[in-house]
Chains A and B, each alone.
Chain A
Amino acid sequence: MKKAISKALAAGLAIAMTLSIAACGSAKPSDSSSSTGAAPSSTAADSSAPAGEPVKLTLWHIQTTEPMPTIIKDSMDRFTKDNPNYTVEVSPMQNDAFKTKIAIAASSDQMPDIFPHWSGGPMNTYIDSQKIADLTTYMGENNYKDRFLPAAVNQATYKDKIWAVPVENIAVAMFFYNKDLFAKFNLQVPKTITELEAVCDTLKKNGIIPFSLANKTQWTGSMYYMYLVDRFGGAEAFNAAAQRTGSFENEAFTQAGNKIQEWVKKDYFNKGFNGLDEDSGQSRTLLYSEKAAMTLMGSWFLSTAAGENKEFTEKKIGSFAFPAADGGKGDPNSVVGTVGDNFYSVAANSKDVAGAFKAITYLIDDTAVQKRVEAGRVPPVKGVKVSDPLLQDVLNAVEKAPSVQLWYDQYLPADVAQVHKDTSQAIFGLAKTPEDVNKEMEAAAKKAFGK
Chain B
Amino acid sequence: MTRKKISIGKTFVAILALAWLVIAGAPFYFMVASAFKEQFEILTTGVFALPKGIYFDNFAGVIKSQFYKYLMNSTFVVAVSLVLILVTALCAAYPFSRFRFKFNKPLFGLVVAAMAVPIHVTLIPVFQLTQKIHLYDTIFALIGPYTAFNLPISVFILTSFMAEIPKELEESAEIDGCGKYRTFFHIIAPLSKPGLATLAIYNAVNMWNEFSFALVLTQSAKSRTLPLSIWEFQGQYNSNIPMIMAVLTLCALPMIVAFAIGQDKLIKGMMAGAVKG
Contact = CB atoms under 8 A, between A and B. Distances in A.
A308 B37 CA distance: 12
Interface stretch (A104-112, A183-191, A264-272): A104-112
A94 interface: yes
Interface of A is mostly: helix
Nearest to A8: B140
A95 B141 CA distance: 23
Interface of B is mostly: helix
Given A11-B138, A97-B231, A308-B39, A89 B220 contact: yes
Contact of B237 (A17, A19, A65): A65
B2 interface: no
B210 to A, nearest CB: 14
Contact of B215 (A9, A92, A97, A279): A97
Contacts, number: 104
A285 interface: yes
Given A12-B134, A104-B127, A288-B43, A92 B140 contact: no
Given A1-B83, A93-B232, A108-B127, A12 B133 contact: yes
A12 B236 contact: no
Contacts of B17: none
Given A1-B84, A65-B236, A284 B43 contact: yes
B244 to A, nearest CB: 9
Interface residues of A, number: 45
A108 B132 CA distance: 11
Contact of B43 (A107, A281, A300): A281
Contacts of B127: 104, 108
A9 B140 contact: yes
B237 A300 contact: yes
* Most chain B Cβ neighbours within 10 Å, of A62, A94, A107, A110: A94
A42 interface: no
B66 interface: no
B59 interface: no
Given A9-B140, A11-B138, A304-B238, A101 B84 contact: no
A239 to B, nearest CB: 27
Contacts of A198: none
A89 B220 CA distance: 8
A11 B123 CA distance: 23
Interface string B213-249: 0011001110000001001111111110100000000
A16 B39 contact: no
Nearest to B223: A15
Interface string B157-194: 00000000000000000000000000000000000000
A107 B221 CA distance: 23
B80 A281 contact: no
A64 B143 contact: no
Interface of B: 39-40, 43-44, 80, 83-84, 87, 123-124, 127-128, 131, 133-136, 138, 140-141, 143, 212, 215-216, 219-221, 228, 231-239, 241
Interface of A: 1, 4-5, 8-9, 11-13, 15-17, 19-20, 62-65, 89, 91-97, 100-101, 104, 107-108, 110, 279-281, 284-285, 288-289, 298, 300, 303-304, 307-309
Which 10 A-B residue pairs are closest in the complex by CB-CB distance?
A: A16-B134, A65-B235, A94-B231, A304-B238, A12-B135, A8-B140, A300-B237, A12-B140, A94-B234, A285-B43
15 contacts: A1-B84, A12-B133, A15-B138, A64-B234, A65-B235, A65-B237, A91-B221, A93-B231, A95-B236, A100-B216, A104-B124, A281-B43, A303-B237, A307-B238, A308-B40
